[in-house]
């Protein structure tokens, strides 16, 4: 690839919370220099940022790349259509500034194949980490595309199966959820003992674990079992915040998932039972998010993309919702960059714009600190020093 000189940008330093006019020199997809007075080396390709605002590449840490936001969840389509949709979803992420996704539950290990294809440069997609099939109790939330397991021994085996298939994460279902009929968000599902067995297997080989956890009892079961990140977290409390801070557990609130269901409702074709569950937990979810933030819990950006009307081109809107619910704009930007890189354990190479890091950039048309809604105006996406999208 050689040297690429990116110039005329307002560089967003998310760590030091400052923005400065400058340029970025990259070589073979890695940042070499960042500064205000840099000059393009002879022979370097020059890319003009056009005075726009340059952020570290945006992460979405909770996606379902095989799902496309249909009102009913969209599970009744064929394999070819599923893959076609997934490739389209990957394109949507890139065209809205997303350079890295963590996918947390798909069918038939297609997510693992997509990740491998992306690494080989065979598909147009963000970088990704994946989890294979979610592990749930028989008949539990996500059973239709997950791996049902009952008892610690079976949960241990299920975890080993995901790891054998090549999963980066093991996803566990600690509670019921919104988009499975007949289960409730507040109800615990996998037991503490079942989750501990699965988590032990992942941790033995250096892999991380996350949990769909909405109700308080299930959240606490997962935390005591050793989980690495809590997804959704409708009903958190002070005990949870203290535990999460002490044990370095992340929170991925996915405010978007609830928001888009509530905004669209049954009139748009979303099942009544799903809307009922969202309406019942909506305010509690917002409260848990704000309290976790104020308590100092580490928060990473994820949207649950693929759930009803929660399309894969809406990642950045999660930051808008976070700010509307009480988070400062700088902190919202961190959730999708430096915090997300920390969650995915790629901080050595991702999450900030500095020498030695991968040249992943998201370019916004306006200052997102002055108005967080500017994150919805992506002008350019760069992955590994290559312009993947520009307008």
- Could you state, in order of their start, the residue ranges of all structural domains in the chain? 3-56+351-390, 58-343
Closest to 102 (Cα-Cα) out of 126, 129, 134: 129
Q: Is 172 in contact with 210 (CB distance < 8 Å)? A: yes
**Residues 6+ away with beta carbon under 8 Å from 24:** 5, 6, 7, 9, 11, 31, 33, 34, 38, 54, 353, 359, 361
What's the pLDDT score for residue 322?
A: 98
Q: Could you tell me which CATH class the domain 3-56+351-390 is placed in?
A: mainly beta
pLDDT, averaged in runs of 10, over the chain (391 residues) = 95 98 98 96 97 98 96 82 96 98 95 98 98 98 95 98 98 96 94 98 98 98 98 98 98 98 97 96 98 98 98 98 98 98 98 98 98 98 98 93
Closest to 335 (Cα-Cα) out of 279, 388, 256: 256
Q: Is 315 in contact with 97 (CB distance < 8 Å)? A: yes
* Percent with pLDDT over 90 in the chain: 97
Q: What is the pTM of this model?
A: 0.97
Task: Tell me phi and psi for residue 91, to 5 degrees.
Answer: -60, -45
CA distance 341 to 66: 23
Closest to 188 (Cα-Cα) out of 175, 179, 177: 175
Q: Is 232 in contact with 253 (CB distance < 8 Å)? A: yes
What secondary structure letter does DSSP report for 390? E
DSSP 155-205: HHHHHHHHHHHT-SEEEEE-B--SSSTT--TTSB-S-HHHHHHHHHHHHHT
Q: Is 174 in contact with 213 (CB distance < 8 Å)? A: yes
Q: What is the CATH number of domain 58-343?
A: 3.20.20.140
CA distance 152 to 156: 6
What's the pLDDT score for residue 75?
A: 67
Helix (H) or strand (E) holding 6: strand 3-13
CA distance 8 to 337: 22
Q: Which residue has the tokens 């064929």?
A: 78
- The pLDDT tens digits for 276-301 are 999 999 999 999 999 999 999 999 99
Burial pattern 175-189, b for ≥16 Cβ within 10 A else e, equals: bbbbbbeebbbbebb
What's the pLDDT score for residue 1?
A: 75
**Residues 6+ away with beta carbon under 8 Å from 135:** 146, 147, 149, 155, 158, 159, 162, 170, 171, 172, 173, 190, 198
């Amino acid at each position: 690839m050689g040297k690429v000189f990116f110039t005329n940008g307002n560089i967003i330093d998310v760590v030091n919370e400052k923005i400065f006019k400058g340029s970025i020199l990259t070589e073979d997809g890695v940042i070499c220099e960042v500064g205000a007075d840099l000059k393009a080396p002879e022979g370097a390709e020059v890319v003009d940022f056009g005075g726009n605002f340059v952020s570290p590449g945006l992460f979405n840490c909770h996606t379902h790349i095989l799902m496309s936001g249909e009102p009913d969840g969209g599970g009744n389509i064929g394999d070819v259509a599923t893959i076609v949709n997934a490739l389209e979803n990957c394109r949507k992420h890139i065209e809205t500034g997303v350079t890295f996704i963590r996918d947390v539950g798909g069918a038939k290990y297609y997510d693992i194949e997509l990740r491998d294809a992306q690494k080989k440069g065979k598909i147009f997609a963000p970088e990704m980490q994946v989890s294979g099939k979610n592990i749930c109790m028989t008949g539990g939330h996500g059973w239709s595309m997950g791996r049902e397991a009952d008892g610690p021994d079976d949960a241990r085996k299920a975890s080993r199966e995901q790891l054998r298939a090549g999963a980066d994460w093991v996803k566990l279902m600690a509670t019921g959820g919104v988009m499975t009929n007949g289960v409730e968000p507040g109800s615990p599902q996998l037991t503490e003992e079942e989750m501990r067995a699965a988590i032990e297997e992942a941790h033995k080989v250096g892999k991380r674990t996350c949990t769909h956890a909405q109700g308080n009892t299930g959240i606490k079961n997962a935390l005591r079992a050793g989980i690495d990140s809590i997804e959704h977290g409708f009903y958190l409390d002070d005990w949870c915040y203290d535990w999460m801070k002490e044990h370095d557990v992340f929170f991925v609130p996915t405010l978007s998932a609830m928001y888009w269901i509530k905004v669209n409702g049954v009139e748009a074709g979303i099942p009544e039972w799903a809307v009922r569950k969202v309406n019942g937990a909506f305010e509690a979810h917002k409260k848990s998010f704000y309290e976790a933030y104020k308590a100092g819990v580490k928060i990473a950006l994820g949207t649950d993309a693929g759930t009803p009307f929660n399309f894969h081109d809406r990642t950045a809107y999660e930051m808008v919702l976070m700010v509307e619910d009480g988070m400062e704009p700088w902190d919202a930007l961190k959730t999708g960059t430096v915090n997300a890189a920390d969650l995915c354990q790629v901080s050595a190479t991702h999450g900030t714009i500095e020498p030695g890091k991968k040249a992943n950039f998201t370019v916004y048309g306006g200052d997102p600190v002055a108005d967080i809604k500017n994150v919805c105006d992506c002008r350019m996406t760069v992955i590994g020093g290559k312009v993947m999208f520009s307008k």
